[in-house]
Amino acid sequence: MLERKPLKDRTEVTFVLPADIPPGPVSVVGDFNDWQPGIHTLAPRKDGTRAVTVALPGKGEHSFRYLAAGDYWFNEESADGHDGVNSRVLT
């Protein structure tokens, strides 16, 4: 699930997943972090989910995927779209 908070010069996008599906650590990787795993790792929240918030610049589109333990890549089902193997988020 994606949560958005529009601000004056950026949009804060929160990437949200269930606490244990898939198991182990998960990070969101995309064009906004040069596809580097581990920079934006999802952390547990009080509501039983895990999430990470990323500030994305202005208006635009960004490609991303999730990376879980064991080199397991997967997409966001509720993304704004998909571009080949990547999920897309609009800001």
In a domain, 91, yes or no: no
Return the percentage of the chain with pLDDT > 90, whole number.
Answer: 89
Q: What is the pLDDT of residues 31-74, one digit of tens each?
A: 999 999 999 999 999 999 999 999 998 788 999 999 999 999 99
- Phi and psi at residue 33, in whole multiples of 5°? -135, 30
> What's the predicted TM-score (pTM) here?
0.93
In a domain, 71, yes or no: yes
Domain containing 7: what range? 2-86
How many other CB atoms are there within 10 angstroms of residue 79's CB atom?
A: 19
Return the percentage of the chain with pLDDT > 70, whole number.
Answer: 100
Q: Residue 20 belongs to a domain with what CATH number? A: 2.60.40.10
Domain count for the chain, please give it: 1
